Amino acid sequence: MQPESIEPFFATLAKANPHPQSELQYSSVFELLAAVLLSAQATDVGVNKATRQLFALAPTPHKMLALGQDRLTELVRTIGLFRTKARNLLATCRILIEQHGGQVPRSRAALEALPGVGRKTANVVLNVAFGEPTMAVDTHVFRISNRTGLAPGRNPLQVEERLLQRVPAHYAVDAHHWLILHGRYVCLARAPRCAACAVRTWCDEGRAWAAKSAAGATAAPTMKPGTKQVNNDGEAG
């Protein structure tokens, strides 16, 4: 993607959705942290179904820890990797209580020191809870960044670093939300909806699709050579 294309690319996404939000349901910074921790290799819809009951019973680290391993495991058993996630969540609650007064820390280092919290999860908390212009690179952001040519990279860290370099400052806080939602509903992994894409004019693969479509031979976009698709929406730490 050419530098001059980046501004209209994000301006178009922003016009369609001026105030993008995470689709995870939460009512506090702690609940956000817990939801993101549980979301690795799981859908937001699936996580929300489990956390409705979980957060009603345990909306704080103290109450979550009081549930105990068996009860917490039962409450999140519909989520992938639920046993590991339950252990990590309880260990995280213990650290929050013992080291941070029961509050979620605002520093990346402190967040990444929590069990089950990796760079992507820390970026989500820093961005959504504290308004920092971080780039949480999940499977959708990774795919869109490579497919469009916006920030190509061979791994999530490379993509994150290039996004931080290329995304204009006035779009930075909301950028990863726009990319996630675009990947979730329009630029799908296996069957991208190029015909319905509002930003294909500035997308490397979108322009290629348009040219082939005009010539009567449509083809779905592919990943850039040498890149690997990230196969989950998060990480376990």
Q: What is the pLDDT of residue 75?
A: 96
pTM: 0.86
Assign domain 29-129 to its CATH superfamily. Hypothetical protein; domain 2 (1.10.340.30)
Question: Quick one: pLDDT at residue 225?
Answer: 53
User: What string of pLDDT tens digits covers the 237 residues of the chain?
Assistant: 999 999 999 999 999 999 999 999 999 999 999 999 999 889 999 999 999 999 999 999 999 999 999 999 999 999 999 999 999 999 999 999 999 999 999 999 999 999 999 999 999 999 999 999 999 999 999 999 999 999 999 999 999 999 999 999 999 999 999 999 999 999 999 999 999 999 999 999 888 888 888 887 555 556 655 555 554 444 433
pLDDT of residue 193: 94
CATH topology for the 3-18+136-214 domain:
Endonuclease Iii, domain 2 (1.10.1670)
Residues noted as catalytic: 120, 138
Q: Which burial class, exposed, middle or buried, applies to 36 when counting CB atoms under 10 A from its CB (0-12, 13-18, 19+)?
A: buried
What are the residue ranges spanned by the domains of the chain? Answer: 3-18+136-214, 29-129
Contact, 1 vs 148, CB < 8 A? yes
The pLDDT, as a whole number, for residue 223 is: 60
**pLDDT score at 214:** 83
Residues 176 and 21: their CA atoms lie apart, in Å, by 10
Residues 94-116, buried b or exposed e (16+ Cβ, 10 A)? Answer: ebbbeeeeeebbeeeebbeebbb
Instruction: Supply 94's token pair.
Output: 């213990």
Helix (H) or strand (E) holding 58: none
